[in-house]
Amino acid sequence: MQGTGYFTHSACRRHEMGRGHPECPERLDAIDDRLLLTGVADALLQRQAPEAPLADLELAHDRMFVASIRGLSEQVAEEQLAGGPDHLQIDPDTAVNASTWSAALRSAGAAIAATDAVLAGEMENAFCAVRPPGHHACRRQAMGFCFFNNVAVAAKYALERHGLERVAIVDFDVHHGNGTEDIVAGDERILMVSFFQHPFYPYSGADQPAANLVNLPVPAYTRGTAVRELIDTHWMPRLEAFRPQMIFISAGFDAHREDDMGQLGLVEADYAWITRRIKDVAQRHAQGRIVSALEGGYHLDALARSVEAHIRVLADL
């Protein structure tokens, strides 16, 4: 079992939340361009993301909520035919357009298909270059640019459909993954470890609500060296003791120093270091099995460089 998969789909570029929105299709273009330019793309197993089956989305989400996202997306498409607006705001940060439903299905479908491919031994690990992102999506609520929780869906899928007993979720986005926490808190088959800027959107996570969560709130202007120490002190012993059979990564790159969405000071070398730590755990306990899915990262150049650094470690390049 070797090689790194790269799952994406053109539908992920057709979801848009309005002119100037930071969670924009150009994010995926920047990543693709960088991977092509550097030759990294040539070393990856390129795969088209399928649409997630509804029954699998419903492992993490309420059925009526899933139907409501479809309904809103269809409503925008219908109203556009009569001259209506091209997107519909569902909160101040998050909007649906006519392509949101299909993009969200491909996003979650990428994480599911990557899970299948890794567990089938077709590849050692995989990165999903997808949008919309997922880690703010709760069981019954879309928020913070997220609709379906791609990583939580895939983690539940690995447990329920593949019969794994223990999986870990690692979230290194600058924001707290409140949606993932909403879905996995109290599920002892899942260990979730994260750090995030605090106090900061979505203003949750500092209160350690369940024993299967390792939440590390860090103040603004924390540098990568300090984050690395926290990871070695707090994540690693828990991950080692848990012995996950597979690891999922909520790979947000908005803790980068150049990313104005947050105020943390990580750089490419920090993302490579964190990925190495995760990979070490995966190789000791999980036959190397990792599925990583894109979350945040809004400075296009810093995002592309950071994803490259992340993938180079995953793929041993």
Chain residues in the site for Zn ion (CB under 5 A): 173, 175, 252, 254, 296
By the 8 A CB rule, do 25 and 131 touch? yes
Residue whose CB is less far from Zn ion, 173 or 182: 173
Residue whose CB is less far from Zn ion, 131 or 289: 131
Residue whose CB is less far from Zn ion, 171 or 308: 171
Please, what is the angle between helix 300-314 and helix 26-37, to 10°? 50
Residue whose CB is less far from Zn ion, 224 or 252: 252
By the 8 A CB rule, do 118 and 290 touch? yes
Closest contact distance (angstroms) between CB of 131 and Zn ion is 12
Closest contact distance (angstroms) between CB of 261 and Zn ion is 6
Residue whose CB is less far from Zn ion, 254 or 308: 254
Taking CB atoms, the residue at the shortest distance from Zn ion is: 296
Closest contact distance (angstroms) between CB of 296 and Zn ion is 3
Q: Which amino acid is at 109?
A: G
Closest contact distance (angstroms) between CB of 175 and Zn ion is 4
Q: Which amino acid is at 20?
A: G
Q: How far apart are CA 154 and CA 210, in angstroms?
A: 21
Question: What's the 3-state SS for the chain?
Answer: CCCEEEEECHHHHCCCCCCCCCCCCHHHHHHHHHHHHCCHHHHCEEEECCCCCHHHHCCCCCHHHHHHHHHHHHHHHHHHCCCCCCEEEEECCEEEECCHHHHHHHHHHHHHHHHHHHHCCCCCEEEECCCCCCCCCECCECECCECCCHHHHHHHHHHHCCCCCCEEEEECCCCCCHHHHHHHCCCCCEEEEEEEECCCCCCCCCCCCCCCEEEEEECCCCEHHHHHHHHHHHHHHHHHHHCCCCEEEEECCCCECCCCCCCCEECHHHHHHHHHHHHHHHHHHCCCCEEEEECCCCCHHHHHHHHHHHHHHHCCC
Clarify whether 136 is annotated catalytic: yes
Closest contact distance (angstroms) between CB of 250 and Zn ion is 9
Closest contact distance (angstroms) between CB of 253 and Zn ion is 9
**How do beta strands 247-251 and 213-218 pair?**
unpaired
Closest contact distance (angstroms) between CB of 172 and Zn ion is 10
Residue whose CB is less far from Zn ion, 164 or 307: 307
Residue whose CB is less far from Zn ion, 134 or 296: 296
Catalytic residue (choose from 61, 136, 256, 310): 136
Catalytic residue numbers? Answer: 136
